[in-house]
Structure 1
Amino acid sequence: MNHLRVRFVLVETSHPGNIGGAARAMKNMSLDQLVLVNPKQFPCAEATSRASGADDILMNASVVKTVDEALNGCSLVIGTTARPRNLYLPELDPRECAERVMDESLKGEVAVLFGREDSGLSNEELDRCNLLMRIPTSQDYSSLNLGAAVQVLAYELMMQRGTQLKRPVGEVVRQYPLATADEMEGLFGHIEKVIIETGFLDPENPRQVMRRLRRLFNRAEVDHNEINILRGILTSINSNMGRSRNV
């Protein structure tokens, strides 16, 4: 089976057994890119025991300190959430999510973020996402173990693999790859610098301006060429401001 360019990113996992459970779920479904962001305890015998034969997934797991490192080079970032979020981001179920992941992985790297066992992903981490995935559960008991959540999406990805997705008639085929997560961070930093210099953003009272701009551009799924255009416009604004001050 062909290598699938998707990273399962576990953020600050508290219990090493959950890391092992996630590795086992991935191995079952022929996935192999596990990234651990600042895990509380790893490597650990409990993780190896729970992996139950998926030792190679654990041995090859990338351990990083920040989400930024985990997302380096990714063109699509999907955050998981256990409850509805009013974040103005498209929210998919696991099957819809698997379809998007399969489609995008043909063009670039995809990351799926799984948050902490007790509190999930922070707002800042969700700011990095283009889409959200939520697994439907019983209203009477909605708590889902981290390993089980990984298993649900891994299964849906397995079902999608080997199936050629048919594009609806009239669907636009993307000419350029999506901008990577680090390119998007460069854009947001550039925007913030310019709107502070123009006086639009007060750094002492920023309110929610940058968060709303992040969500706007993340929803838009900006491609590599578009981000170059936007950065060029911002650079032009900077240059014109400099000339104006020198007149």
Structure 2
Amino acid sequence: MLERLRTVLIGTSHSGNIGGVARAMHNMGLDDLALVAPRGEVIDQESISRASGADHLLHQARVSQTLDEAVADCTLVVGASARSRTLPWPMLSPRELAARLPDECRQEGARIALVFGREDSGLTNDELHRCHAHVHIPTNADFSSLNLAAAVQVVAYECRMAWLEQQASKAGSDHQKAEKPPASEEQRASHADLERYFAHLEQTLTTIGFHDPQKPRQLMARLRRLYLRARPRRIELNILRGILTATNKAVTDKAGPPPRP
């Protein structure tokens, strides 16, 4: 289960914080680190020192320029959020998130991204809207600021505890060992699948006049929240995209060919 978890850091500005995150991950058995547009050095004396023996995670970390690229193959994306947003999103505590992982990881090809934002400003609204859910660490309201590595440590600890409970449960239950993952047609849609769907959906809604990009009224953000909450399977997403394609064709056929110049 822990091998299915990817820690994603966006716009990290201090190499020492990346090293501290690597140490926190290695402590808890996580080894998949992805960096999105880091604002400074990734591997230097400070990051290696703070990693305290976990610097191999720094050397194997994947660096991307966008969040979409970093989590393209992920079936569940959870963003760390320190504050409420104008548009409410499913919110989990680290323990609630960890409790979901055993079932999530039964899915064939499942991969979960734990996304953490910049040290000074966290995740943007656009980045949070790309997440299925948000995880919030219930800190002291009078002093809620957490060091990046400390935040990763808290979430990773809860994930490890869920894994340990799963291991203990498997040891005492033969039927759980015999469980098979769902059939391939029941696989969850990946982040990349969903982003292609959202682009297709927005284009179709604009074509039929339901959506005006100049006056969006949070329409696409609300639709994102709906579909991310629903967690569609790949086969279901293919059906939805087929409907969009048929809708575009019907509108085009009704309008007829464009006038010849």
The CA deviation at 1:84 is 2.9
SS in 1 for 2:146: coil
Within 5 A, what are the aligned runs for 1:203-242? 203-242=213-252
Q: Which residue of 1 aligns with 2:96?
A: 96
Structure 1 residues 174 and 106, CA gap change in structure 2 (3 angstroms): closer
Q: Which moved more, 1:198-207 or 1:110-119?
A: 198-207
- Which whole-Å CA distance do the structure 1 matches of 2:218 and 2:100 have between them? 29
1:182-209 CA-partner distances (Å, limit 9, x unpaired)? 1100111001111111011123322311
- Which whole-Å CA distance do the structure 2 matches of 1:20 and 1:60 have between them? 13
Letter in 1 for 2:247: I
Query: Is the aligned partner of 1:24 residue 2:26?
Result: no
Within 5 A, what are the aligned runs for 1:150-169? 150-164=152-166
- Which whole-Å CA distance do the structure 2 matches of 1:213 and 1:49 have between them? 44
SS in 1 for 2:78: strand
* Number of aligned residue pairs: 240
Query: Is the aligned partner of 1:72 residue 2:51?
Result: no
Does the 8 Å contact 2:5/2:114 carry over to 1?
yes
1:200-223 CA-partner distances (Å, limit 9, x unpaired)? 112332231111111111111111
1:16-40 CA-partner distances (Å, limit 9, x unpaired)? 1110000000001111000010111
When Rg is computed on C-alpha atoms for both structures, the one with the higher figure is 2
Within 5 A, what are the aligned runs for 1:175-194? 176-194=186-204
Within 5 A, what are the aligned runs for 1:115-126? 115-126=117-128
- Which whole-Å CA distance do the structure 2 matches of 1:85 and 1:196 have between them? 26
Structure 1 residues 93 and 3, CA gap change in structure 2 (3 angstroms): closer
The CA deviation at 1:5 is 0.7
Does the 8 Å contact 1:6/1:105 carry over to 2?
no
Q: Which residue of 2 aligns with 1:170?
A: none
Q: Which residue of 1 aligns with 2:147?
A: 145
Q: Which residue of 2 aligns with 1:169?
A: none
Alignment TM-score, normalising by the size of structure 1 = 0.91
Q: Which moved more, 1:60-69 or 1:39-48?
A: 39-48
Q: Which residue of 2 aligns with 1:63?
A: 63
Cα RMSD over matched residues? 1.9
Query: Is the aligned partner of 1:199 residue 2:199?
Result: no
Q: Which residue of 1 aligns with 2:111?
A: 109
1:145-183 CA-partner distances (Å, limit 9, x unpaired)? 1000000111111111143379xxxxxx97612110011
Identity of aligned residues (%): 50
- Which whole-Å CA distance do the structure 2 matches of 1:123 and 1:61 have between them? 25
The CA deviation at 1:86 is 4.5
Unaligned runs of 5+ in 2: 171-180
Letter in 1 for 2:153: Q
2:133 to 117, 131, 134: 131
SS in 1 for 2:35: strand
SS in 2 for 1:112: strand
- Which whole-Å CA distance do the structure 2 matches of 1:204 and 1:84 have between them? 26
SS in 2 for 1:117: coil
1:84-125 CA-partner distances (Å, limit 9, x unpaired)? 334332211111111223431332011011011111100100
